[in-house]
């Protein structure tokens, strides 16, 4: 106690703990520096307690961490301690490891309840009334004690306390103020450690899972992004604040509208909800890339939505594989033309905004070609046919292999006479020039001549005709072409007009 001023007397007759303001401020400054600079926050706490002990003249400075608060008991652990001598050390005693304190005693229950709301306490043991709490302190040879609760993220995390086994003094006023300031320094260090630890976990998750983590406050619209996501968005890692409107602008307009729809649904949900959405996002460059947005609405203890948090997962490779799989499922493996599934999608996903015609055709007497030259030559002939016809079509026209030697062309933006003229050009394209086929076992290529018969129909103006109806009409026109001697093109509307 060398260097401490003599104790003053409080109105209740108790002596106040003697403190020197300059020494207390210096101890807090050194402890704060340790909390900021030491590698682990716990080492900084040890140093802060070691600074507080000598300036207060206490026997012990300690911290209990709250582990669980039960209806009838509180479970704590003795996690930090500074002791002025070995005889005052309690950290190594088994009775203080994960110990349970019953709340049967009304005085101790009130003490715990007050700590939960931030109340600090000062005990001069000889002046305390008889009871379990006084007997517990006396069993530890404590003559005076002061405690302040430590709060992290608004929750009671633990208790910082000092024990004096030599002096029965009051810690009210400056003593509790000093302890409370130290508790706030500890809480700030612990909160900073938790943030840094969580940030490291987030960045590791970002690297491993190739995703970014984000959170938007519903109270003020502020956005938090992981460092990796900031960099992907073109911002420095230390950029302080990304405006919500800038983040929203990175979403494709169509997907942005869907995000707002999902967000409104989540806000109106009675319980916390989550949604997932594949969206196009423009990051640091100008290209749109596919990401999966996984978002969850977070609620406070009153059940009110307070934040939207989630991850942004790069699914570009998955989308590419899906597109490749879809393309493969909609393409004829032999010729590369669309198949019936591909034609169905064209009809359903690309509604007609202008006249649309279906030209149905097949190879005349193709069975004879197969019987004469074999199926390998027949397959090669089908591939050559597709290549030749594809060069005659526009990019917006679709060439389809329906099966065997039967094909179709879906053409848009043509009048009836233009569609019939296209069918006629295709007929001549096949009939006028023989096909040169490399045949197994043949030194010279085979020259194979063939013809096609074609039927043409037009989708009605109301766009209500199903593909099946179009196919039926085109098939009737194709049948008429074959009945007319093959190697010709017939329009369905001419057949229909002839019937009336």
pLDDT tens for 241-277 read 888 888 888 999 999 999 999 988 888 887 778 889 9
E strand residue ranges, 240-331: 274-282, 288-299, 305-314
Domain shared by 363 and 289, yes or no? no
* pLDDT of 104 over the 50 cut: yes
Domain shared by 265 and 338, yes or no? no
E strand residue ranges, 4-143: 15-16, 60-69, 73-83, 99-102, 121-124
pLDDT-derived band at 208, boundaries 50, 70, 90: low
| Paired sense of beta strands 155-164 and 223-225, if any | unpaired
What residues contact 141, with CB distance under 8 A and at least 6 apart?
Answer: 165
User: CA–CA separation, 436 vs 381, rounded Å?
Assistant: 8
SS3 call for 357: strand
Write down the residue that tokens 């919500």 correspond to: 244
Domain shared by 22 and 129, yes or no? yes
* pLDDT of 205 over the 50 cut: yes
- Domain holding 278, by residue range, is 210-319
- pLDDT reported for residue 247: 86
In a domain, 266, yes or no: yes
CB distance 389 to 426 below 8 Å: yes
Question: Kind and range of the H or E element at 373?
Answer: helix 366-373
Phi-psi group of 404: left, alpha or beta (phi > 0 → left; psi -120 to 50 → alpha; rest → beta): left
Phi and psi for 51 in degrees, rounded to 5? -80, -35
- pLDDT reported for residue 3: 44
Q: How many domains does the chain have?
A: 3
What residues contact 492, with CB distance under 8 A and at least 6 apart?
Answer: 455, 456, 457, 458, 473, 474, 476, 477
| Paired sense of beta strands 435-437 and 446-448, if any | antiparallel
Domain shared by 335 and 477, yes or no? yes
Side-chain-facing half-sphere of 79: CA atoms under 13 Å: 16
Domain shared by 268 and 155, yes or no? no
CATH code for position 136: 3.30.450.40
DSSP class of residue 12?
A: T
Domain boundary among 194, 218, 249: 194
User: CA–CA separation, 466 vs 450, rounded Å?
Assistant: 32
CATH code for position 430: 3.30.70.270
Domain shared by 185 and 237, yes or no? no
Mean pLDDT of 329-354: 84
Of 256, 249, 297, nearest in space to 273 by CA: 297
**Higher pLDDT, residue 344 or 286:** 344
For 44-58, 83-97, 462-476, which range has the lowest pLDDT when averaged over its residues?
462-476
Domain boundary among 194, 224, 245: 194
CATH code for position 244: 3.30.450.20
Domain shared by 446 and 421, yes or no? yes
In a domain, 57, yes or no: yes
Domain shared by 101 and 240, yes or no? no
pLDDT-derived band at 464, boundaries 50, 70, 90: very low
Mean pLDDT of 341-350: 82
For 33-42, 44-53, 189-198, 478-487, which range has the lowest pLDDT when averaged over its residues?
189-198
* pLDDT of 124 over the 60 cut: yes
Domain shared by 50 and 120, yes or no? yes
In a domain, 242, yes or no: yes
In a domain, 235, yes or no: yes
User: CA–CA separation, 64 vs 78, rounded Å?
Assistant: 5
SS3 call for 279: strand
CA R_g for the chain: 42
Phi and psi for 8 in degrees, rounded to 5? -90, 170
In a domain, 311, yes or no: yes
In a domain, 199, yes or no: no
In a domain, 483, yes or no: yes
Identify the active-site residue in 14, 51, 81, 405: 405
Domain shared by 39 and 174, yes or no? yes
What is the secondary structure of 107-125 as a DSSP string? HHHHHHHHHHTT--EEEEG
In a domain, 81, yes or no: yes
Domain shared by 427 and 465, yes or no? yes
Domain boundary among 161, 194, 227: 194
**Higher pLDDT, residue 85 or 234:** 85
Asked if 405 is an active-site residue, the reply is yes
Domain shared by 104 and 160, yes or no? yes
* pLDDT of 1 over the 80 cut: no
């Amino acid at each position: 106690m060398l260097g401490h001023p003599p104790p003053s007397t409080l109105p209740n007759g108790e002596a106040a703990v003697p403190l020197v303001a300059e020494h207390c401020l210096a101890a807090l400054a050194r402890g704060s520096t340790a909390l900021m600079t030491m590698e682990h926050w716990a080492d900084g706490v040890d140093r802060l307690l070691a600074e507080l002990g000598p300036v207060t003249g206490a026997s012990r400075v300690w911290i209990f961490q709250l582990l669980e608060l039960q209806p009838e008991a509180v479970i704590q652990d003795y996690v930090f301690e500074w002791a002025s001598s070995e005889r005052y050390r309690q950290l190594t005693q088994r009775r203080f490891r994960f110990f349970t304190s019953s709340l049967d005693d009304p005085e101790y229950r009130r003490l715990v309840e007050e700590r939960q709301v931030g109340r600090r306490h000062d005990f001069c043991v000889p002046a305390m009334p008889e009871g379990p709490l006084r007997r517990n302190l006396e069993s530890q040879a404590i003559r005076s004690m002061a405690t302040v609760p430590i709060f992290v993220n608004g929750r009671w995390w633990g208790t910082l306390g000092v024990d004096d086994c030599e002096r029965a003094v009051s810690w009210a006023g400056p003593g509790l103020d000093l302890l409370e300031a130290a508790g706030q320094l500890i809480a700030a260090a612990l909160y900073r450690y938790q943030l840094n630890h969580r940030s490291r976990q987030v960045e590791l998750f970002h690297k491993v899972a190739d995703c970014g983590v984000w959170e938007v406050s519903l109270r003020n619209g502020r956005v938090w992004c992981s460092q990796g996501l900031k960099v992907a968005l073109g911002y420095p890692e230390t950029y302080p604040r990304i405006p919500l409107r800038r983040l929203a602008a990175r979403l494709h307009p169509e997907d942005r509208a869907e995000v707002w729809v999902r967000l409104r649904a989540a806000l109106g949900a009675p319980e916390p909800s989550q949604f997932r959405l594949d969206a196009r996002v423009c990051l640091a460059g100008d290209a749109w890339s596919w990401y999966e947005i996984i978002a969850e609405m977070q609620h406070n203890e009153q059940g009110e939505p307070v934040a939207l948090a989630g991850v942004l997962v790069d699914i570009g490779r998955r989308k590419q594989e899906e597109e490749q799989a879809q393309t493969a499922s909609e393409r004829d493996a032999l010729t590369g033309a669309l198949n019936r599934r591909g034609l169905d999608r064209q009809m359903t996903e690309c509604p007609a905004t202008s006249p649309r015609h279906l030209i149905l055709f097949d190879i005349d007497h193709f069975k004879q070609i197969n019987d004469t030259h074999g199926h390998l030559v027949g397959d090669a002939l089908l591939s050559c046919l597709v290549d030749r016809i594809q060069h005659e079509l526009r990019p917006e026209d679709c060439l389809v292999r329906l099966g065997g030697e039967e094909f179709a062309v879906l053409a848009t933006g043509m009048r009836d006479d233009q569609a019939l003229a296209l069918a006629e050009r295709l007929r001549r394209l096949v009939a006028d020039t023989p096909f040169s086929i490399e045949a197994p076992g043949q030194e010279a290529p085979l020259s194979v001549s063939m013809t096609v018969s074609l039927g043409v129909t037009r989708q009605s103006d109301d766009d209500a005709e199903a593909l099946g109806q179009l196919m039926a009409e085109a098939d009737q026109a194709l049948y008429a072409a074959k009945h007319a001697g093959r190697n010709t093109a017939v329009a369905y509307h001419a057949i229909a007009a002839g019937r009336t």
